Amino acid sequence: MLALNKIKKDILILGIESSCDETSAAVLHSGRMLSNIIATQEVHRQYGGVVPELASRAHQQNIVPTVDTALKQAGITPQELTAVAVTAGPGLQGSLLVGLSFAKSMSMALNIPLIGVHHMQAHILANFIDDASGRAPRFPFLALTISGGHTQIVLVRDYFDMQVLGQTLDDAVGEAFDKTAQIIGLPYPGGPEIDRLAHQGNPTAFRFPKPKVEGLNFSFSGLKTSILYFLQKKQKENPEFIRQNLADIAASVQHTIIEILTDKIGQAVAQTGVRRLVVGGGVSANRGLRERLEELARTGGWELHIPRFEYTGDNAAMIAITGYLKYQRGLFDDLRLTPKPRWDM
């Protein structure tokens, strides 16, 4: 087989993601994904959330077989790689360190460029993978990044020219889903469970207050508290209330969260005049949110881009495409690159 990078125009990027509880490796050939392997850490389920120290240990166990599988599925050897891209932040310090140390070792051993990637930028740029959403978005566009740790509205003028217009002041939207799920007895991670149940329930069965936050910022801590107090009150009146109304509770909570997100997006469109919207992050896999955004795009004349499900959660494909775009501009790092648990976009 002719080595792909023997052809001058071809670029082979290895992407590595280890910011939280997913160990992932992907190989990208120019804009086309050859492999995208994700090792999920099941150990956190019993604790109802990610335990940082256990996440770091699991990354150490998973990183070598995950990268090896990604290379084999892509049909290449390490020596054929053009560069290695890795999540440098934001994320858990120990988890980031595992991926970054491995990427540095490969960069040094193979004498290829090292490219540090901003995790949230990568969620946005996942939409530029060839098979991500059918067509790449045009600049400028608005990006809604929604995950377990982040909720942001970003104005994107170019690949690496991004301005955060609004963000959560406390908890992220993913936390709101997961904490609600925990309150009503659903397993971790709770977001997908609420989404599944919501399609069986009445979204207007119960009303929850939407936090009033000025501008394009978000707040979800008050919503979580109001849901908790509401359910505690109902449980005193009827100990079987949650069990009897599980689907309606899930549907009503999801409906409220979606309204909060879409209200802010509507404000952002009105303020900027930008009618192209890109969505990224693990919560963008939520079916209810996708359906609502698609409806708003049709009625409002927006251009909407949501990547395929495999590119929504934490994955190395989004790291590889970001590394590819940075490689084209010569945006490399050296071995002094350190993990950035907190990293402004």
Q: How many residues does the chain have?
A: 345
SS3 label, residue 234? helix
Could you say which residues of the chain have pLDDT below 70? 1-9, 41-44, 46-48, 133-134
Helix, strand or coil for residue 142? Answer: strand
Residue-wise pLDDT tens digits, 99-144: 999 999 999 999 999 999 999 999 999 999 987 766 889 999 999 9
Which strands, in side-by-side order, build the sheet including 22-29? 32-40, 22-29, 12-17, 83-89, 114-118
Q: Are 146 and 324 in contact (CB under 8 A)?
A: no
- Give the pLDDT of residue 133: 67
- pLDDT at residue number 44: 64
Which three-class secondary structure state does DSSP give residue 313?
A: coil
Q: Which residue, among 172, 198, 168, has the nearest Cα to 184 in the 3D structure?
A: 198
What domains are defined for the chain?
4-127+312-328 (3.30.420.40), 136-306 (3.30.420.40)
**How far apart are the C-alpha atoms of 206 and 36, rounded to whole Å?**
41
What is the token pair recorded at 117? 């990637």
CA dist 277 and 142 (Å) reads 5
